[in-house]
Amino acid sequence: MSGNRARRIGLLGVPVEAGTGRRGACMGPEALRVAELEARLAALGWDVTDHGNVVQLDARALGALTFAGAAHSPERVASWVRPLARQSYDLCKAGTLPVFLGGDHSLAMGSVMGVARHWEEEGRPLFVLWLDAHADFNIPSISPSGNMHGMSLALLAGEAELRPVFGDEPTTAIPPERMCVFGARSIDPGERDLLRRRGVSIVDMRQIDEHGVSVLLHRFLNRVAAENGVLHVSLDVDFLDPTVAPGVGTTVPGGATYREAHLVMELLEDAGCVGSLDVVELNPFLDDRGRSALVLAELVASLFGQEIMDRPTQPFG
Ligand SMILES: [Mn+2]
């Protein structure tokens, strides 16, 4: 366990679904609570507080937000992510390791924004690991769907087209070269071009098949360690193969297996650099008897110290 991590975890629900084309993600935070996330983390020795859900602003009071292209329900997205960024920042300031329960992936605009502002003040470089079938690096002028859950990483990288989301709120941009999209298998053509130009690292499933998650993840984690960085992990349910976790609106075949996902979590735990986490896109309406919620709760526990079996201190052989 690394010394730069809080022993205190704060859970914060963000039942936003305005960023996606399908309803049901608003139930995600409750499903993760029903899957006993809090008790699992407490059993690992963490001091856990559930802060309930973020209080949404009145979207109508924000006025119309205009963009240079397609962006659906931006006022509703903003009504969630603006107060979320503030609460995220406050949790970090209080020495809490925040775990954000979604809700669709647009919530990362707020959660990571607050985290980024905190670490900028602390003078520590923030890195972002995006565990996702998609890169979420669209901007309104190139987005095929206009759904804003596909734009969150681009906003965090400081893409100018997305500035109206935060308006006059305090923001900071994360250098795109400190971002890694891991598990990708569905990236739009315009988005791919933008990712390349900005220098975001992409690890796709083809590379994972060829080299395995361990080698590829270490490559990124070594960079985090070399700069004494802090890591935000954003876990989208569709990182996993739909046979493992069907409870998501954007299933893409060929995702991470149960074992690959657990290995990623254990490697992150070993690295000891994770300072915050999103768990997003869980749609209990599409789930199979809570299976996806339970898998996610297990993965989060794995990230925070749960081991399947106690290993002997000396490896066998
Ligand atoms: Mn996503």
Question: Any idea where the domains of the chain sit in the sequence?
Answer: 8-303
Torsion of CA 162, 163, 166, 171, to 10 degrees: 110
As a whole number of angstroms, the distance between CA 185 and CA 238 comes to 10
Fold classified for 8-303: Arginase; Chain A (3.40.800)
pLDDT confidence bin for 1, thresholds 50/70/90: very low
Binding site residue list for Mn(2+):
105, 132, 134, 136, 236, 238
Distance 314 CA to ligand 1 centre (A): 39
Higher pLDDT, 314 or 221: 221
pLDDT in tens, 5-35: 568 999 999 999 999 999 999 999 999 999 9
pLDDT confidence bin for 144, thresholds 50/70/90: very high
Let me know if 149 is a catalytic residue.
Answer: yes
Using the 8-state DSSP alphabet, how is residue 316 labeled?
P
**Distant-in-sequence, close-in-space partners of 124: CB < 8 Å, separation ≥ 6:** 228, 229, 230
Let me know if 118 is a catalytic residue.
Answer: no
Q: Is 20 exposed, middle or buried (0-12, 13-18, 19+ CB in 10 A)?
A: buried
Average pLDDT rounded to a whole number, residues 227-247: 97
Q: Is 189 exposed, middle or buried (0-12, 13-18, 19+ CB in 10 A)?
A: exposed
pLDDT confidence bin for 307, thresholds 50/70/90: confident
Q: How far is CA 282 from CA 8, 35, 146, 182, in A?
A: 24, 12, 20, 18
pLDDT in tens, 249-294: 988 999 999 999 999 999 999 999 999 999 999 999 999 999 999 9
Average pLDDT rounded to a whole number, residues 107-111: 98
Give the max Cα distance, the chain. Answer: 66
Average pLDDT, rounded, for the chain:
95
Distance 240 CA to ligand 1 centre (A): 12
Let me know if 90 is a catalytic residue.
Answer: no
3 state SS of 276: strand
Q: Which of 118, 149, 232, 262 is catalytic?
A: 149
